[in-house]
Amino acid sequence: MSVAGPQPPVPIPGARLLFSLDPGVAHLNHGSYGAVPIGVQRTQQRLRDETEANPMRFFNRGLVDRITHARRHLAGFLGADPDGTALIGNVTIGAAIVLQSLRLEPGDEVVGTDHGYGSFALTVDREVRRTGAVRRTLPVPLGATDEEIIEIVRSGIRAGRTKLLMIDQIASSTARLFPTAAIVAVARERGVPVLVDGAHAPGMLPLPVDTIGADFWVGNLHKWGYAPRGTAALVVAPRWRERIEPLAVSWYDDAGFPTRIEWQATLDYTAWLAAPVGLFTLRTLGLERVRSHNAALAAYGQWVIGRALGIAPADLLHPGGPTVAMRLLPLPAGTASTLDDAMELRRRIGDELGAEVAVNAWQGRGWLRLSGQVYNRAEEYEQLAERLPALLAAPS
């Protein structure tokens, strides 16, 4: 007897037409690079045209004020203090800024979990090589409860020695939703500062940044917030703002945080200036409507592909819970168990099946990560479910 699974949500009328994605490809990996609505693309192009029409005027007459205005708009959407928010290119840049500003010393610890994003680990490794500090990783089982995760963190940080705890809000590799506010509270009891990686949070999760209470929070708006790529935010608690330094010093260094971080001379600022149009698009579609649609569609995709792979419904993990628009599927043992193999399988699925997905190697096993977005349709997941088992069974 077949077990009834989740049903796909009703498509949002007209939403698919807002994007310029290739209709011959199933784009099931919004979480990696996002997709920029056509209206946002055109806004950014107009700003680029304005730049090239008179570069002197664009850069020298009011640009800082325009960036500030865009930042205030984006910070309001995030639920963050605009004066404690700096616009940056992506979350890894934000992590590098924080780590550099901490001025680590030999023996200091930077602690994270094994769900952390790879470029964050590389950034920490570079900083510990420079300073003599140490990176420690806390293993967190994929099926751990929130209470278990909190206890793992409580036992893993050390007052006076742990100089930074880095925790995901939603983990990229596993789509795990972490109890960030509770973790921050535990770390505060020990006097340990926390950096929250909220790369996937803006536009997907309703939790206002300021309610998390982290010392540092970084998040991308070019994923689920429909902003142009290269739009992210670094939010810093008041007691740290004077210590935060840019990776490269530029002309507004004396202006303090956040302008000293944002102003990087001839950087292309058009992504930041166009980003509010992405939020306007999201609100026009209906923010809660989009969130519930995307989460439901990802759940349906996980179920239909999991069934095709012979995964029992009880074994379908959804560590992000019902509000997260990304879902995880375990691949057969020995498949994509290394980074190189995962990248190769992702390429094969894209080239041979016409579907773009995320494939990650985590804890010695390959995992398929699916996203749901307003431009996706149930039949895209169904078609992948029909064809993926044969590809996995065929020799590479």
Please provide the DSSP assignment of 109-166 as one string. EEEEETTS-HHHHHHHHHHHHHH--EEEEE---TT--HHHHHHHHHHH--TTTEEEEE
262 in the same domain as 156: yes
Query: What is the SS3 assignment for 95?
Result: helix
pLDDT band at 322 (very low <50, low <70, confident <90, very high): confident
Name, in order, each residue with C-beta under 8 angstroms of 351's C-beta and a sequence gap of 6 or more.
none
198 in the same domain as 158: yes
292 in the same domain as 274: no
- Domain with 311, as residue range(s), is 15-28+286-393
CATH of the domain at 389: 3.90.1150.170
138 in Cβ contact with 152 (< 8 Å): yes
Domain annotation covers residue 305:
yes
pLDDT tens, position by position, 335-355: 999 999 999 999 999 999 999
308 in the same domain as 267: no
Domain annotation covers residue 97:
yes
Q: How far apart are CA 80 and CA 395, in angstroms?
A: 50
- Residue ending a domain, choose from 280, 303, 334: 280
236 in Cβ contact with 95 (< 8 Å): no
Q: What percentage of the chain has pLDDT greater than the value 90?
A: 92
Residue 385, Cβ density class (10 Å: 0-12 exposed, 13-18 middle, ≥19 buried) = middle
What the block records as the tokens of 269 is 């600022």
251 in the same domain as 362: no
User: Nearest-CA neighbor of 365 among 389, 395, 341?
Assistant: 341
Host H or E run for residue 361 = strand 358-362
* DSSP one-letter code for 62: S
pLDDT tens, position by position, 119-173: 999 999 999 999 999 999 999 999 899 999 999 999 999 999 999 999 999 999 9
β-pair type (162-168, 326-330): unpaired
The residue assigned the tokens 């950087």 is 267
What is the CA 322 to chain-centroid distance, rounded? 17
Domain annotation covers residue 373:
yes
360 in Cβ contact with 326 (< 8 Å): no
182 in the same domain as 220: yes
Domain annotation covers residue 387:
yes
CATH of the domain at 101: 3.40.640.10
Residue 111, Cβ density class (10 Å: 0-12 exposed, 13-18 middle, ≥19 buried) = buried
Q: What percentage of the chain has pLDDT greater than the value 70?
A: 98
369 in the same domain as 327: yes
Number of domains making up the chain: 2
pLDDT band at 3 (very low <50, low <70, confident <90, very high): low
Residue 382, Cβ density class (10 Å: 0-12 exposed, 13-18 middle, ≥19 buried) = middle
312 in the same domain as 276: no
- Residue ending a domain, choose from 280, 312, 346: 280
Q: What angle do CA 132, 134, 135 make, to 5 degrees?
A: 140
pLDDT band at 24 (very low <50, low <70, confident <90, very high): very high
What the block records as the tokens of 206 is 């309703």
317 in the same domain as 256: no
pLDDT band at 275 (very low <50, low <70, confident <90, very high): very high
Q: How far apart are CA 67 and CA 157, in angstroms?
A: 38
- Residue ending a domain, choose from 280, 304, 325: 280
Domain annotation covers residue 243:
yes
310 in the same domain as 192: no
257 in the same domain as 307: no
126 in the same domain as 107: yes
Strand order in the sheet with 365-371: 326-330, 365-371, 358-362
pLDDT tens, position by position, 170-227: 999 999 999 999 999 999 999 999 999 999 999 999 989 999 999 999 999 999 999 9
β-pair type (109-113, 162-168): parallel
Domain annotation covers residue 34:
no
Domain annotation covers residue 2:
no
User: Nearest-CA neighbor of 95 among 232, 205, 273?
Assistant: 232
Task: Indicate if the pLDDT at residue 79 is higher than 60.
Answer: yes
Domain annotation covers residue 21:
yes
